[in-house]
Chain A
Amino acid sequence: DAGITQSPRYKITETGRQVTLMCHQTWSHSYMFWYRQDLGHGLRLIYYSAAADITDKGEVPDGYVVSRSKTENFPLTLESATRSQTSVYFCASSGDTSYGYTFGSGTRLTVV
């Protein structure tokens, strides 16, 4: 099915572990984005990508790593998870600047 999918939907991990959140889109959109949403902070941009092999930091990149070897995939890795990274993570994609953003359903991550 066409769209943007995130996996897993829910994840519980322990402090210090590495965890990867997956994002896949089927439109061949150039732009992809990772946001986290926390009470009191709203949506904050972690990393974004303008095309395959082009990534850039957003507002809150510390502790996260991204890669984009293929246009359709944009995984987000927490190298060593901390409790402060407990959050809901949203991936989004967009075509050129005249397009809107489309968001995935989110991944609820709990770090214990």
Chain B
Amino acid sequence: KQEVTQIPAALSVPEGENLVLNCSFTDSAIYNLQWFRQDPGKGLTSLLLIQSSQREQTSGRLNASLDKSSGRSTLYIAASQPGDSATYLCAVRLINTGTASKLTFGTGTRLQVTL
């Protein structure tokens, strides 16, 4: 069974710091990995999608890397801002088990960026 773990579970940093969130998964038979952001009481917003054949994806201050062979992904946030405060979830899309390929979610990292 695929297990997805995120470290750390919570993180507090001062504004302006660069930071790294980690995601590890146990089964490398994946189509892709997706990073989401969730604000309190809100839905999930997709940040980055990395295909299994790719090494990294970038969007603005965000950069996500994928090392499928070691079962690891990192989300790098540059020059953090208070507006980045949220819970960050990684999810891997499993190669078909059943009638559809499904996402398995990590446990999440709760990020707080302080002034």
Residues of A within 8 A of B (CB): 31, 33, 42-43, 45, 48-50, 54, 56, 58, 90, 92, 97-106
Let me know if B108 and A97 touch, CB within 8 A.
no
Let me know if A103 and B101 touch, CB within 8 A.
no
Let me know if B44 and A56 touch, CB within 8 A.
no
Let me know if A48 and B108 touch, CB within 8 A.
no
Q: Which residues of B contact A103 (CB under 8 A)?
A: 36, 43-46
Complex Cα spacing A104 to B42, Å = 10
Q: What is the distance, in angstroms, from B114's C-beta to the closest C-beta of chain A?
A: 24
Residues of B within 8 A of A (CB): 31-32, 34, 36, 42-46, 49, 51, 89, 91, 93, 95-96, 98-103, 105, 107-108
Q: What is the distance, in angstroms, from B103's C-beta to the closest C-beta of chain A?
A: 6
Quick one: closest B residue to A45, CB to CB? B102
Q: Which residues of A contact B107 (CB under 8 A)?
A: 42
Interface of A is mostly: strand
In the complex with contacts A42-B108, A90-B44, A101-B100 CB distance below 8 A: no
- What are the 4 tightest A-B residue pairs by CB atom distance, in nearest-first order? A100-B49, A50-B100, A103-B44, A97-B31
Quick one: closest B residue to A99, CB to CB? B49
Complex Cα spacing A100 to B48, Å = 9
Show 30 residue pairs from A and B whose CB-CB distance is below 8 angstroms, ordered by the A residue: A31-B100, A33-B103, A42-B107, A42-B108, A43-B89, A48-B99, A48-B100, A48-B102, A49-B100, A50-B99, A50-B100, A97-B32, A97-B95, A97-B96, A97-B101, A98-B31, A98-B32, A98-B51, A99-B49, A100-B32, A100-B93, A101-B34, A101-B93, A101-B103, A103-B43, A103-B45, A103-B46, A105-B43, A106-B42, A106-B43
Complex Cα spacing A5 to B31, Å = 26
